[in-house]
Amino acid sequence: EDQVTQSPEALRLQEGESSSLNCSYTVSGLRGLFWYRQDPGKGPEFLFTLYSAGEEKEKERLKATLTKKESFLHITAPKPEDSATYLCAVHGQAGTALIFGKGTTLSVSS
């Protein structure tokens, strides 16, 4: 069964304090691993797609990396506006759905 586990559940950072969010996954035939940002009460906003181990993608202060078992979302010098819940999802060969983790809620204080 495809599964995604995210850690930590919550993370509090000071502005400028870099850190990483973890996404561990089990999937039969990875078609893609996706990162989304979700603000309270809103729909998830697409950030990145990673397709194969070793792949990296960057967008502003965010960098996503992928290995055969996990993905990391690195946040460099975060700002308060980066506060949100970050969701990781996988798409496996077995079905058509995205399988989501529960997310990591990031709070950045100034």
φ and ψ at residue 82, rounded to 5 degrees: -80, -5
Closest CA to 82 of 54, 102, 110: 110
Residue (15 or 45) nearer to other proteins, CB: 45
Question: What CA–CA distance (Å, rounded) separates 101 from 18?
Answer: 22
Minimum gap (Å) between residue 88 Cβ and other proteins: 8
Q: Could you say which of 7, 12, 42, 79 contacts other proteins (CB under 8 A)?
A: 42
Rg of the chain taking only CA atoms, in angstroms: 13
Residues 80-109 binding other proteins (CB under 8 A) are 87, 89, 91, 95-103
Binding site for other proteins (CB under 8 A): 4, 31-32, 34, 36, 41-46, 49, 87, 89, 91, 95-103
